[in-house]
A and B are shown apart, each in its own frame.
Chain A
Amino acid sequence: MKNVVIILISLLFMNFNNNNVCLAKNKETIIIGLDADFPPMGFYNEKNEIVGFDIDLAKAVGKEMGFKIEAQPINWDAKEMELKTGKIDAIWNGLTYSEERNANMLLTKPYMKTKPVVVTKNDANINKIEDLEGKTVCLQKGALAQASLISSEVCKNAKDIFYLETMLDCLNEVKLGKVEAAVVDEVIARYYLNINSKENCFKILEKNIPAEDYVIAVARGNEKLKNTIEEGLNKIVKSGEAARISEKWFGKNLVCFNEEDQSAKKITAESTKENSDVFNGIFSGLLVTLKLFFACVLFSIPLGLLICLIRRRNIKILNAIIDLYTLVIRGTPLLLQIFFIFYGLPLLLPAMKISNRFLAGSVAFIINYTAYFSEVFRGGINSIPIGQWEAIKVLRIPKFKAIEKIIVPQSLKACLPSICNEVITLVKDTALIFTIGIVDLLSATKNAVNISANVSIYGVTAAIYLFMCCILNIIFKLLEKRFNYKS
């Protein structure tokens, strides 16, 4: 059964693979994919138009070669998939060269050099790379940082490394003090510091990190588009147009397109990512998911029961607080609550700062699920006939014995199906923790798919989730059997 599911899912995706290899052959518009949060390469301006250095450069090339440019914002994590499935024609957005990318996509010769730099707060006690020892650092997911920096000097010494959706998120986390340093492309750091020179709360360390090449990617096999772009670049470099655009954005000509560049020889390099690496990543994501799941179940079920029992004491103020709590928790998205606990709460109450991401995420999940479980238990306890309570009273059965032997078992039987529902929903909800930079099963899968460009990994992950839910189903079936008395 599970194999069939994997095959079906894989087929579904693979069908797209080879359809559009020769895209843009007869087209006058080239769609370029970009992370629209990457100033100054490509980003939304105040008028909500996508602008940037790469956009201007692409337009200049298009003008030279006779095609139009359409900028399409994409999820940067999924850029290889976007290209492979023909949703975009090229990735042109400060894409740095790497062996893996070279194996998965067709890359042009480099048109610019960049290096990642370490950004910290102005007043941070970090002045050289070695000072990062024992500090927390964040990187943009899927960016060059992740591929090449993990083993570099910067990250070797760091205590913790987090991956966030965009570079702006990374800089924000530094600003808020969530992490001590961010590693971002130099261009973005310079640009940002320039336009925010009044605020001036960041400083840049730039030593010791090797420079990287910016390239443009098209789908494998689409040599024609690659050649067209390279020819166009060559022309605008020669005409001085490229230098003009660069000066507009960086105050300096950074374009260095060299027709005799040697990157062609790298084309043969194969992906260095071993399968076992991919599955190691997924496995550690699975561990995170399981850890979150068990933490949430182990705390929120007893806490839910406790709240439900407090409620039964009918103390007015407490009940009003509990009502408000369940209303707010059940009436707002879990995602919002996770953000609130991690980002919002420390701003409101500095003492409540939870700097451990996993802990903050777990706390949000526990708070959320406790509310749901307390309501489930309330329903369960309310389903106990009044005669049972009267018998407990008349027969003078001690309170704790009654709760343990009569009330809990009877209400559990009544609410077991609802508990099962909640727990199975939790298995899937755990994926939301990726939003605060934790790599769980699903985001590990996304990363693995991007690195290996192998969509069938999604099938494996689907099977893992399905398997967890099946196990839970079996456990709950057994529990139901255990409470299988007629009433």
Chain B
Amino acid sequence: MNIIEVKNLSKQFLNKNIFRDFNFSAKKGEITAIVGPSGQGKSTFLRILVGLEKADNGTIQINGKNLLKDGVYNNDRKEISDIFKDISMVFQEHNLFFNLTVIDNLKIVKEDMRKINNLLEDFGLAGKENLFPAELSGGQKQRLSIIRSLLLDPKIILFDEPTSSLDSENRVKIANILNKLKEDSYTVVVVTHDERLLNLVDPIIYRIK
């Protein structure tokens, strides 16, 4: 069953087509990878899925609900809210709240201390609670950013270049996390250039020409 179903999606920036009639689907509980040359609109596509950009035409269905149908956005607030509840994104630049400590970055999303502490433990960030994001390493920031997205219990998690600035040790950690997420029946969509990451997680691959 496809938890994400995208048909004939078009997006222009300043009258320039970023993509046209783009089709995509992601199976529930699987890892799907989108690969392709730089500047082809991969990040833009993820941003459309979480509502940070608007598409110009096409259809987007997430978990059975229409976000966009034949170029018309759903305007049922309740349904929109349900759709975005199911989907979250881990930013390439992390976008951690730099004025808040590790623990406050998580508490502001959801104040569930048991869950937060379990996740910090699982992701190797226990003991870092009172540091500011600027005091974390690249890998630690990436993992904190993932925990933050997991707190809201989404069904789908999107990753934009999760290993772009990481060394191989951290790459393995991220691969393990992605595999673990799949085990826990999350749906994962990952945009990446990183062939070695693809080898480590063995995803369904979409290539953009």
The chain A residues found within 8 Å of chain B, CB to CB, are 385, 387-388, 390-391, 393-397, 401, 405-406, 409-410, 413, 483, 485-487
Contact = CB atoms under 8 A, between A and B. Distances in A.
Given A390-B52, A486-B132, A395 B109 contact: yes
Interface string B117-136: 00000000000000010110
Contact of A397 (B50, B96, B108, B134): B108
A338 to B, nearest CB: 38
Interface residues of B, number: 24
A387 B97 CA distance: 9
Nearest to A406: B97
B204 interface: no
A486 B88 CA distance: 27
A410 B95 contact: no
A10 B91 CA distance: 64
Chain B contact residues, majority secondary structure: loop
B93 interface: yes
Contact of B99 (A390, A397, A485): A485
Contacts of B134: 485-487
Contact of A390 (B85, B95, B148): B95
Contacts of A401: 108
A388 B97 contact: yes
B84 interface: yes
A487 B94 CA distance: 13
Of listed B52, B88, B95, B148, residue having the most chain A CB within 10 A: B95
B98 A410 contact: yes
B88 A485 contact: no
* Residue of A394, A397, A406, A483 with most partner-chain B CB within 10 A: A394
A334 B52 CA distance: 44
A394 B89 contact: yes
Nearest to A386: B95
10 contacts: A394-B91, A395-B109, A395-B152, A396-B84, A396-B152, A405-B100, A406-B99, A406-B108, A410-B98, A413-B99
Interface of B: 50-52, 84-85, 88-89, 91, 93, 95-100, 104, 108-109, 132, 134-135, 148-149, 152
B95 A387 contact: yes
Contacts of B84: 396
A485 B105 CA distance: 14
Given A387-B91, A410-B99, 14 more contacts: A387-B93, A391-B96, A391-B97, A393-B52, A394-B88, A394-B89, A395-B152, A405-B97, A405-B100, A406-B108, A485-B98, A485-B99, A485-B134, A486-B134
A401 B109 CA distance: 10
Given A387-B91, A387-B93, A401-B108, A393 B51 contact: yes
B100 A406 contact: yes
A432 B97 CA distance: 43
Given A406-B100, A485-B132, A486-B135, A391 B95 contact: yes
B99 A395 contact: no
A390 B91 CA distance: 9
A391 B108 CA distance: 12
Contacts of B95: 385, 387-388, 390-391
A163 B99 CA distance: 51
Contacts of A395: 88, 109, 148-149, 152
Contacts of A409: 99
B126 to A, nearest CB: 21
A388 B50 CA distance: 15
Nearest to B89: A394
A391 B97 CA distance: 8
Contacts of A485: 98-99, 132, 134
Contacts of A396: 84-85, 152
B98 to A, nearest CB: 5
B108 A394 contact: no
Contacts of B97: 388, 391, 405-406
A394 B93 CA distance: 14
Nearest to A484: B132
A397 B50 CA distance: 14
B108 to A, nearest CB: 6
B162 to A, nearest CB: 15
A487 B52 contact: no
A409 B100 CA distance: 9
A397 B52 CA distance: 15
B98 A405 contact: no
B202 to A, nearest CB: 27
Considering residues A413, A483, A485, which has the most beta carbons from chain B within 10 angstroms of its beta carbon? A485
A280 B50 CA distance: 67
A387 B96 CA distance: 9
Interface centre among B85, B99, B108, B134 (most CB of A within 10 A): B99
A19 B152 CA distance: 83
Contacts of A391: 91, 95-97
A25 B94 CA distance: 85
A190 to B, nearest CB: 70
Question: Which of A406, A409, A483 is the most central at the interface, judged by chain B CB atoms within 10 Å of its CB?
Answer: A406
Contacts of A394: 50-52, 88-89, 91
Contacts of A397: 108-109
A401 B52 CA distance: 20
B91 to A, nearest CB: 7
Most buried by B among A385, A390, A401, A486: A390
A387 B98 CA distance: 11
A485 B149 CA distance: 23
Contacts of A387: 91, 93, 95
A486 B98 CA distance: 7
A401 B107 CA distance: 11
A405 B108 contact: yes
A387 B141 CA distance: 15
Contacts of B88: 394-395
B170 to A, nearest CB: 21
**Nearest 7 pairs between A and B by C-beta?**
A486-B134, A387-B95, A391-B95, A487-B98, A485-B132, A409-B99, A395-B109
A483 B99 contact: yes
Nearest to B90: A394
B103 to A, nearest CB: 13
A218 B50 CA distance: 85
